[in-house]
Structure 1
Amino acid sequence: MDSSTNSYFATEFNQQALSNMMHKVHGGLDAIRDSDNDKYKFLLEFIGITLFYIQNNPSSFDERCIMNIASIGDRFMDQVKSFDLGEDSAEQLFAYCYRFVIEYQISTPNSISSELLAVLSRVSDFEYGAYAGQVRYAGHQMLINVVQHYLYHPSLASLKDLPEVIQRSETERENAEKSILDRETRVNALAEKLETYETAFNFVGLYSGFKSLKITKVSERRWNFFFLLVLGALLLFPVVVKFYSLINAPAKLEPDLIGLTALAGLELLLLYFFRVALQNFRSIKAQLLQIDLRMTLCQFVQSYAEYSKGAPEGSKGLLERFEQVVFSGIVNDESAIPSTFDGLDKLAELVGKIRK
């Protein structure tokens, strides 16, 4: 019989065997009710009461009679099944029942039933034959064996190691807390890096915007410079042509005042547009300079963001200039660029006076 068995008397097969045995014992008691054999009556009575409590509380006996179930459990049930109501057979079954009741009494924290106590008090009233040794063992040595069984039971042995287990669990708890703290530190560091990357990504987008704007302005500057060269050439071309014609003209030829006036007007008009183009070229150069400055500032904007977080409360305007440079609009100096029709009224007045 395996001592680790959790259910023995509670099994359906053994319950049926115990029930059949109780009917047989009750029948035997009824048959010898008027007999003078008090010992036999006591044996059957003890067996009947023991089997009654085992059948009605099988889980309790399974739990509290571990040692005897392991040592004589199978022999006890074999005897129950083969019991023939003989006195010798009754004494053997009585010895087994007595061992179970004694162990049950030792293992029970409270007092057992009064019926069991009553039959236990009468055990010493009779002399026993072949199984007297079992009875004496149950009353003396078995008590020591039961105590030893429970004292050195694996569960109780584990209980002895409880201080060591507690110390080990405390060490594991400290290690777990340290591990959690280390992981939390790493998570916080990753969170800070993620925040840094997010800020950097935002300003990378700003840098890309400035870069795209710079490409556009560089293209505008190239075209504007080309127009300046064309206007400069057109501005010089009439003068050179007129000067060349005057050199090759006859000496006594009267000067062509109307032609000279028209040439002067054309030169003034070309000079005006040249001035407009030149002013626009300078404006584009100023815008490119501002864009380059913003792109340069965006390269260390992350350090600026960190510094602005830790700046003292009293220095609120410390970094305003930086923000104004990066986030302000690009100045075009449009007020300095003359409008297309600026001065046309005066030019019209001049032409009118020449005609008069």
Structure 2
Amino acid sequence: MSIPRDSYFATEKNKKILSNMAVKVRSALDTQRDRENDKYKFLLEFIGTTLFYIESDPESFDERCIMNIAALGNRFMDDIRGFDLGETDAQYLFAQCYRFLVEYQLSSPHPVPSDMLTVLSRVSDFEYGPATSQVRYAGNQMLINVVQHYLYHPSLTSLKDLPAVIKRSEDEREGAERAILERETRVNALAEKLVTYETAFNFVGLYSGFKSLKTTKVSEKNWNFLFLLVLGFLLLVPVAVKFFSLLGAQGKVELDIVGFSALVGLELLLLYFFRVALQNFRSIKAQLLQIDLRMTLCQFVQSYAEYSTAAPEKSAGLLERFEQVVFSGIVNDESAIPSTFDGLDKLAELVGKLRK
């Protein structure tokens, strides 16, 4: 049984204390290998084994030594920090380690490691002086306390309500199934609508392409319209200048054939470019109209897709007109736009006649 609790041995501070003392105890045990004090060597071995396993898996000891952590956790860490390897202090620290290992063994769902069992089996081989009462408590009364702690834990006492919990869970399951059935009905209704949206979104790229093309053409139309205004203004400027120059002349006005010829030629040239720009402006407007038509037809693409799928083979030509409009190229009507050099030969003939 896993009873969650806050970390104690698994904190960085306590892990560092355990690691430092484990190294210190191992070093002291190495110096005692050839000496005759078997009891002291066993105390160090037991303490070192306990510290090793707590350091190796502190989360497991946090989970399985709840009672002793609550009873002597802080004192245990203080004693470890202040342990000076003396035999008396070793006996007290051994008793505390013994309590932790006994509780760990009782609450473990699996057998503990063999070296831990070995040191536990040798506890009865020695007397522990002032720590004897703690050792006896760990081997007798503490076993009862640990069993009581887990037996009467709220997580276990609630098992007596298991039949009512099972019935309540069955009722909740039936209610959940009804709710799922209702939601499934609503989801199916939404799925039918999503089929429509899916096909429509498949043509988002086509609509976006037309939209981008329209933006480009609108900008082109605006610049073309501005160019038309400039050409219209330039058509009026030479006439106005000539008119005001004649009004300002004093005395008899002489007919300036060359000047008038140049003026007429300039006006004809400006008029020609104005005509070219006007035709181009009309062409752009026609293209924009075609683009708007395609964008409008894209809104009916779902109905088009459904009808094209369901249409019988003998009616295969019914949708050709729709496809020609949407997928055909945009007509520029370039044949109606005069070339840049159209009419220059006639203009040259006119200038030659005026000169004669």
Q: Which bin holds the TM-score, normalised by the shorter protein? A: 0.3 to 0.5
Q: TM-score, normalised by structure 2?
A: 0.48
Q: TM-score, normalised by structure 1?
A: 0.48
- Structure showing greater Rg: 1
